[in-house]
Amino acid sequence: MSTNNTVTVVLLWISVIVWSIWFGGTIYQMLVVVPIWSDSLPESLHAFFRDTSYNHNIYHFFGPGWMPVRFLPLYGMLFFGWRLPAHRSLFIVTAVCMTFVLAFTLTYVYPINAVLFTQAGGDLSVAEVRAMVHRWIIADRARFVVACVGYLALLRALSIPITKPTP
Kindly tell me if the per-residue pLDDT of 164 is higher than 70: no
Mind listing the pLDDT tens digit for each residue in 75-111? Answer: 999 999 999 999 999 999 999 999 999 999 999 999 9
Cα–Cα distance for residue pair 63/128, rounded to 1 Å: 26
- pLDDT for residue 51: 81
Q: Indicate whether 52 pLDDT > 90.
A: no
pTM for the model stands at: 0.90
Provide DSSP, 79-130. HHTTT-HHHHHHHHHHHHHHHHHHHHIIIIIHHHHIIIIISTTTT--HHHHH
Domain extent listing, the chain: 3-159
pLDDT at 165 over 80: no
Across the chain, mean pLDDT equals: 92
How high is the pLDDT of residue 167? Answer: 58
51 vs 105, more confident = 105
* pLDDT value, residue 132: 96
Mean pLDDT, rounded, for 49-62? 84
- Cα 162 to Cα 164: distance, rounded to the nearest angstrom: 7
